[in-house]
Amino acid sequence: MVLLKFHGGCQQIGMSCVEVETQKGRVLLDCGMSPDTGEIPKVDDKAVDAVIVSHAHLDHCGAIPFYKFKKIYCTHPTADLMFITWRDTLNLTKAYKEEDIQHAMENIECLNYYEERQITENIKFKFYNAGHILGSASIYLEVDGKKILYTGDINEGVSRTLLPADTDIDEIDVLIIESTYGSPLDIKPARKTLERQLIEEISETIENGGKVIIPVFAIGRAQEILLIINNYIRSGKLRDVPIYTDGSLIHATAVYMSYINWLNPKIKNMVENRINPFGEIKKADESLVFNKEPCIIVSTSGMVQGGPVLKYLKLLKDPKNKLILTGYQAEGTLGRELEEGAKEIQPFKNKIPIRGKVVKIEFSAHGDYNSLVRYIKKIPKPEKAIVMHGERYQSLSFAMTIWKTLKIPTFVPVRGTILPI
């Protein structure tokens, strides 16, 4: 019998971790940390044969250095990006030590998409492209004859950086699927609409002599935003002003450039034609950022909760300047305060009055509700489905959608659920 044990990521976003247990072997699918609380799954690393990592975001890989796992499997880009994620976590929270990261890195084995690997005599797996961030993967396992697809975070739509998630997949017995935008209310504007809104907001500020601050997540969101801005500058639809970057996104963007064969082929074509798709990466210099000239500042962190972006918030004292939030802002973060119209904030000792404009244009590396529905219709019909990686309403809503669409048993586990399959 195969048991699925859910250690995290159930009716929540964060701390994703599913254990697949058999009499002859055990593997973990992801081992993430909660971005809000720093909580990690409680697992027995000595009993686990391997961890298979879907991608390099904190909520999927952040807990790995806490443990001494024998083997960690991921794609080649994910290994490089995980190192950045772990070092960021070390620098910001001191959650673990440098030697913990070193131990984890020494036990990584990298695979390409579609390359099979046997872990134990009864467990083998391969990766499919998930379309979420560079190197992101859906994990396809064969365990005691059962065929399991763990989607990880998926995007069935086209982005500037990546091709859509694979849907031409081998037959599936059990589908474990994310539900970040699993409610029928979670329908996002067309991508071109979001891009136009972003460029209009930037243009308005630049033409008025102001500066634009764009907080981003270092991996995925930063590269997408840089691609959009530089594309509009090259086409003459956005004034060419300095773009300053700061934080770990500089290192993450270098990793993206190292793996252009893993990206949207349009990016490879640009590089072959001697065009830098992400533009010239200029490290933010305070003497330049705080002068009187218009500029764009792209910096971490995405929720304005730590990171170098905090030192640029003083620019919002000036009504000519603008902050553009490009993603979800969790409760209790400075980003949420700003989104909700805070008149002043206190990132450091002194309070900062907010006179500049704050706008939100939500880009996402996750598919919205319509994208998730298209995905489940395109992949082979599973015998049963399990919905996780979403807030309670989203997970329950999407479970209902799967039931109505595919007419198969659908489960929404809670943390600690053990499900025989």
| SS3 assignment for 330-350 | CCCCHHHHHHCCCCEECCCCC
Q: What is the pLDDT of residue 329?
A: 86
Q: What is the pLDDT of residue 396?
A: 99
Question: Burial of 218 by CB count in 10 Å (0-12 exposed, 13-18 middle, 19+ buried)?
Answer: buried
With bands split at pLDDT 50, 70 and 90, how would you rate the model's confidence at 125? very high
Q: 402: how many CB neighbours lie within 10 A of its CB?
A: 26
Q: What is the pLDDT of residue 332?
A: 84
Q: 114: how many CB neighbours lie within 10 A of its CB?
A: 11
pTM: 0.95
Spatial distance between the Cα atoms of 419 and 416, rounded to a whole number of angstroms? 10
Q: Taking a C-beta distance cutoff of 8 angstroms, is the pair 357, 383 a contact?
A: no
pLDDT in tens, 18-59: 999 999 999 999 999 998 788 999 999 999 999 999 999 999
Q: What is the pLDDT of residue 92?
A: 80
Q: Taking a C-beta distance cutoff of 8 angstroms, is the pair 302, 363 a contact?
A: no
Q: What is the CATH number of domain 191-360?
A: 3.40.50.10890
Beta bridge partners of 163: none
DSSP string spanning 284-319?
Answer: --HHHHTSSS-EEEEES-TTSSSSGGGGGGGGGGST
Tokens (6 digits) for 297: 């500042």
pLDDT in tens, 316-343: 999 999 999 999 888 788 999 999 999 9
Q: State CA 185 to chain mean position distance.
A: 21
Antiparallel, parallel or unpaired: β 243-246 and 282-283:
parallel
pLDDT in tens, 355-401: 999 999 999 999 999 999 999 999 999 999 999 999 999 999 999 99
pLDDT in tens, 200-229: 999 999 999 999 999 999 999 999 999 999
Annotated binding site for Zn(2+): 55, 57, 59-60, 132, 153, 389
Sorted by where each begins, the domain ranges of the chain are 3-184+365-420, 191-360
Q: What is the pLDDT of residue 305?
A: 87
**What's phi and psi for 298, nearest 5 deg?**
-110, 115
Q: What is the pLDDT of residue 340?
A: 97
Among candidates 315, 359, 320, which has minimal Cα distance to 200?
359
Sequence letter at residue 341: G
DSSP 8-class letter at 369: H
pLDDT in tens, 221-256: 999 999 999 999 999 999 999 999 998 999 999 999
Spatial distance between the Cα atoms of 367 and 389, rounded to a whole number of angstroms? 13
Mean pLDDT of 273-295: 88
Q: Position of tokens 């990686």?
A: 389
Q: Taking a C-beta distance cutoff of 8 angstroms, is the pair 147, 141 a contact?
A: yes
Tokens (6 digits) for 404: 């109505």
With bands split at pLDDT 50, 70 and 90, how would you rate the model's confidence at 288? confident
Domain spanning 3-184+365-420, CATH class? alpha beta
Annotated binding site: 55, 57, 59-60, 132, 153, 389
